[in-house]
Chains A and B, each alone.
Chain A
């Protein structure tokens, strides 16, 4: 399973990154984590509001920052 963050480096993007790290600590599953900051790659996800959280290639959340519990629930789904 892969969790991806689409980020442009702004402060809300950094909050999402921190929350995702916390969420990944909570869950036992083996999850690989990556961050994409390249705009061309980001646009291939068809996302228009930053930041975004992607699980296994599916955009789960965009334009807002879910808290660690919500992220953990999205990943474990």
Chain B
């Protein structure tokens, strides 16, 4: 339906030839701007609603209640996925969880998934790769948080947290005094914040789609296969290493990656790259350095990075 409309606009109204580089590039751009724009608006609103209904304080109480019987890591990781991520909240969340009596490993489960599976990434994945790849991405992210948090919890890394953190954690602090409005009453502010997020990432998404469109139109299909297919053993770790500094531009990087996949980059390598771009957040690392000793921070980010490389190989092998 939308496809037909965009066909009309690009090929009839603008008179670009179907199958020509300019025609294909322009068609891709217009189509994706509409689809991704709509998805961004919908997903940020849905996430805003979930978050208003389930504020992190309530999640903390629930996890700390001890009623989850062993599924704490999975639940913490799942909530990490649905809470909007801001590196500015990394420390308050970390401290708040420990303060609420939640074990370090469970807290780490939350911290791993929180940046990795976020509303902007989900909207972009849905628009660019469809629901199957999105589901695969979200499920691997939540699984990663669950398993790594559990593993690090077993290692007993409590001594690697800065000492003053435990002093605060043992002091119960004051009770939450914030009054929450009804969900309906919060709707205007939920919507305004959702639109703020959309407008904030819009320049990156548009820039990414321009580059993606150019690749779609002008780079021949299978171009990268000649260089990267088959052996390309180093491709996965290399792309993870390259990805880390790109965190700030994650929204612009994803459309480019999608175009590269259609031109022959293996999906597993691309997924590993994107997980690293979105999940290995440098700003988060800088913040967490204040509360974690270097060994814990290195273990935390190192194990996430290594696992992403592992997942990349796995997807390349299975998909």
Given contacts A12-B86, A40-B168, A43-B168, contact A60 B178 (CB under 8 A): yes
The B contact surface, by secondary structure, is helix
Is the pair A59, B92 in contact by a Cβ cutoff of 8 Å? Answer: no
Chain B residues in 8 Å Cβ range of A42? 92
Counting chain A CB atoms within 10 Å of each CB, the highest count among B88, B173, B192, B193 belongs to B88
A58 to B12, CA, bound (A): 61
Is the pair B88, A39 in contact by a Cβ cutoff of 8 Å? Answer: no
A39 to B86, CA, bound (A): 16
Q: Is A68 an interface residue (CB 8 A)?
A: no
Is the pair A48, B178 in contact by a Cβ cutoff of 8 Å? Answer: no
A45 to B92, CA, bound (A): 10
Chain A residues in 8 Å Cβ range of B175? 46
Is the pair B164, A46 in contact by a Cβ cutoff of 8 Å? Answer: no
Is the interface on chain A under 10, 10 to 19, 20 to 34, or 35 or more residues? 20 to 34
Chain B residues in 8 Å Cβ range of A70? 189
Counting chain A CB atoms within 10 Å of each CB, the highest count among B97, B174, B178, B189 belongs to B178
Nearest A residue to B287, CB-CB: A8
Chain B residues in 8 Å Cβ range of A66? 189
Is the pair A39, B176 in contact by a Cβ cutoff of 8 Å? Answer: no
Chain B residues in 8 Å Cβ range of A58? 177-178
Encode contact with B along A33-63: 1 for CB under 8 Å, 0 otherwise: 0000001101111111111000000111111
Is the pair B92, A49 in contact by a Cβ cutoff of 8 Å? Answer: yes
Q: Is B99 an interface residue (CB 8 A)?
A: yes
Given contacts A8-B88, A43-B92, contact A65 B193 (CB under 8 A): yes
Given contacts A67-B192, A70-B189, contact A48 B174 (CB under 8 A): no
Q: Is A73 an interface residue (CB 8 A)?
A: no
A43 to B90, CA, bound (A): 12
A18 to B105, CA, bound (A): 37
Contact for A46 among B86, B174, B193, CB less than 8 A = B174
Is the pair B88, A59 in contact by a Cβ cutoff of 8 Å? Answer: no
Chain B residues in 8 Å Cβ range of A46? 96, 99, 173-176
Nearest B residue to A60, CB-CB: B178
Is the pair A48, B60 in contact by a Cβ cutoff of 8 Å? Answer: yes
Chain A residues in 8 Å Cβ range of B88? 8-10, 12-13, 50-51
A62 to B51, CA, bound (A): 12
Is the pair B173, A10 in contact by a Cβ cutoff of 8 Å? Answer: no
A69 to B6, CA, bound (A): 41
Chain B residues in 8 Å Cβ range of A67? 192
Given contacts A8-B287, A61-B178, A63-B56, contact A48 B173 (CB under 8 A): no
Chain A residues in 8 Å Cβ range of B86? 10, 12, 49-50
Is the pair A64, B193 in contact by a Cβ cutoff of 8 Å? Answer: yes
Chain A: residues with CB nearer than 8 A to chain B? Answer: 8-10, 12-13, 39-40, 42-51, 58-67, 70
Q: What are some 29 contacts across the A-B interface (CB < 8 A)?
A: A8-B92, A9-B88, A10-B87, A12-B88, A39-B92, A39-B290, A43-B96, A44-B173, A46-B173, A47-B96, A48-B56, A48-B57, A48-B92, A48-B93, A48-B96, A49-B56, A49-B86, A49-B92, A50-B86, A50-B88, A50-B89, A58-B177, A58-B178, A59-B176, A59-B178, A63-B55, A64-B189, A65-B193, A66-B189
Return the 8 tightest CB-CB contacts between A and B, nearest first: A10-B88, A48-B96, A46-B173, A50-B88, A8-B88, A58-B177, A50-B89, A59-B178
